[in-house]
Structure 1
Amino acid sequence: MSTSVPLIVRLLSSSVSVANRAGKIVRDVMSKGELGIIEKGKDDYQTEADRSAQRCIIASLSAQYPKLNIIGEEDNPDNEGDVPSDWIVLESDKDVLSLECPVALKSVKEEDIVVWVDPLDGTSEYTQGFLEHVTVLIGISVNEKPVAGVIHQPYYKNLVGSEKKMGRTIWGLQEVGVGGYTPAPPPDSLVITTTRSHSNPVVEQALSVMNASQILRVGGAGYKVCSKSYRLVIIFAGHIFILSLEIPSFIRIYYRTIYYLFT
């Protein structure tokens, strides 16, 4: 990878390729049928797919960007032995690598960056077989401000020509826009997306007063964003996030919710 390309663009292009590999790991674990489920708390689960995908992401990005601060959702994946060599991804997405970097981000150093990783968002749905709800999330912040992100859907079904392909990766970069999907115009009516498995009285009360024409109950923060390419109001744990998916900065806005949920 050319070092003449600004760091933030190189990191985003690497993250897209790494997310694709992590998505394959998620599918492989499910195919083998040995999920290795651990209950971290009430209705909060971790599987072998969570652990393995995180090891892949952290090891791959650390190999290329050793000074990055990477924060993963799962605890201590490094304690589980060596990472298989075929999990180490050093390739970059060529389309992302060709992007024009925003002027404000051209001089960013590795020490300025924090990468946030949710290796398998929607674990509860994953264990129950609602596989389309699963996403791999990578968020990139610079000096405590979100600037880029990647959402990979391991079970999204693509038709490339006459060939069926599994998986889709959406990326976004501040002041540049998004790639990996085609936005649709928003409907005239209000659509609310909310949690499928973690509702509570506060969420239900908020839903009851919104007078929405449609309420979508889905799992995983990533899938809530990707499920419909139009304006959504997301109600989660009593907090309301308004996301306008037809504007280019939606992943950056979305990543603010991921940052909030992590903290």
Structure 2
Amino acid sequence: MNSVKVNYAAVGITLVVVLVMTLKMYHTRVTYRLHTVNLKELLSVSIDLAELGGERVVAVKQEHKLHAESKGETKEGKQEMKTDGDMQSHRTILAGFHTAFPWLDSRIVSEEHDKHPDTSQSVNPNKKRPETDTLPDLSVLVGDITIWVDPLDATQEYTENLDEYVTVMVCVAVKGEPVIGVVHRPQQSDHHQKETVWAWVGQGVSSNLGSIGVQTDAKAPDAPIVIISRSHAGSANQTIKQAFGKGHAVPAGGAGYKSIEVIRGKADMYAHVTVIKKWDICPGNALFNAVGGHMMTLKGEIINYDKSGSPVNEHGLLASVNNFQYFLNRLGPVFDSEQKR
């Protein structure tokens, strides 16, 4: 009779591997169910990292080493650009989140991807910041959080030296709802200063957003000023003309820039009719929500920013502080009819 020889070393290694994997899975479940994140600290870190990412964006531009390349084409045949400014900002922001909140690594969605991220960046989650230090300490579960990062919004304009449109953005969504939005303008221009605006829905907004007053639908303008994309406009001009007749479309770069312009009263609304990614619009969505405005699809749908869903918003976009329903009632049907063609 042949005897069976047991390789005890192999069995031992297998058992160790199984044990490690089991413990890792258990730790992940416990982290998601029990570990919480302080939103005030997350806001402070998001502001720091947007500004640090902005420093890299500016440095790359000053060094004249953009290394611009296309990531591919949109459905409309427009090129989507990527530069070293995008990548260096991305690495800085993700490294900073990792050092401050390592348990959030899997909850971050960035526009860019990198197999070799910078691991040297460090930020202090307990940093005292005058504007945010008086805000309440509120915590949420790790599994309820999704962080959207746009390391360089308006890359096309960045390559064209239209620096006023360029921003670095971070958004924190809780259970799919945009709660914290940070938009940092890293470069001074002839028309705009370097600045960071932020909002925490229900808790506070940065003082530089100004005083916001929500009007009524009765005061809706006959010829609204509509800010639209200059590089991904699609049929926006025709849609606005058909919906309002006298409406005036103003092309501009960057979703962050356009959101702030509307909130500050430089335009009546922000409209977009082509596909747009959620890292572009989540920060602005949080800003609008915080000041009493709205951002939805042109079908009147609330946009869900949970990581489990698609990163693509396909049904257009409308955002305004005032008269939102009036604008939606005019633009929505025109958008629907164009989609059915």
Q: TM-score, normalised by structure 2?
A: 0.62
Query: Which range moved further: 184-193 or 127-136?
Result: 184-193
Pairing 1:70–2:108 present: yes
Whose strand proportion is higher, 1 or 2? 1
- Contact 1:138-1:151 within 8 A present in 2 as well: yes
How far, CA to CA, are the matches of 1:247 and 1:221 in structure 2? 12
**Gaps in structure 1 of 5+ consecutive residues:** 1-5, 159-164
Q: Which residue of 1 aligns with 2:146?
A: 114
Alignment-derived partner of residue 197 in structure 2:
170
Cross-structure match for 2:240: 207
1:262 aligns with 2:311: yes
Q: Which has the larger radius of gyration?
A: 2
Whole-angstrom CA distance in 1 between matches of 2:62 and 2:286: 32
Residues 204/196 of structure 1: CA separation in 2 closer, same or farther (3 Å cut): same
CA RMSD for the aligned pairs? Answer: 3.5
TM-score by length of 1: 0.79
The 3 A distance-change label for structure 1 pair 152 and 234 is: same
Q: Percent identity between the aligned chains?
A: 26
Query: Alpha-carbon deviation of 1:167?
Result: 2.1
Which is helix-richer, 1 or 2?
2
Out of 246, 249, 252, the residue aligned to residue 290 of structure 2 is 249
2:214 corresponds to 1:193 = no
Shift, 1:169, TM fit: 0.6
Measure the CA separation in 1 of the matches of 2:117 and 2:145: 26
Amino acid aligned to 2:72: G
Q: Does the 8 Å contact 1:184/1:246 carry over to 2?
A: no
For 1:25-40, list aligned pairs within 5 A: 25-40=56-71
Q: What whole-Å deviation, never above 9, does each CA across 1:102-148 have from its counterpart, x for those lacking one?
A: 8xxx2413332111001001000001110110011101011222111
Q: Which has the higher contact order (CA 8 A, sep 6+)?
A: 1
Amino acid across the alignment from 1:143: K
In structure 2, the gaps of 5 or more residues are 1-36, 74-78, 214-218, 276-280, 297-301, 313-341
Greater shift in the superposed pair: 212-221 or 26-35 = 212-221
Matched to 1:176, the amino acid is Q
* Count of aligned residue pairs for this structure pair: 243
Per-residue CA deviations over 1:243-263 (Å, capped at 9, x if unaligned) read: 999977149956977949933
Counterpart of 2:271 (choices 222, 231, 235) is: 235
Alpha-carbon contact 2:180-2:286 (below 8 Å) kept = no
User: Do the aligned partners of 2:164 and 2:189 also contact (CA within 8 Å) in 1?
Assistant: no
Cα distance in 1 for partners of 2:188, 2:68 equals 23
Instruction: Kindly provide the CA deviation profile for residues 182-212 of structure 1, in whole angstroms up to 9, marking residues without a partner as x.
Output: 42668974221000011223x2221212245
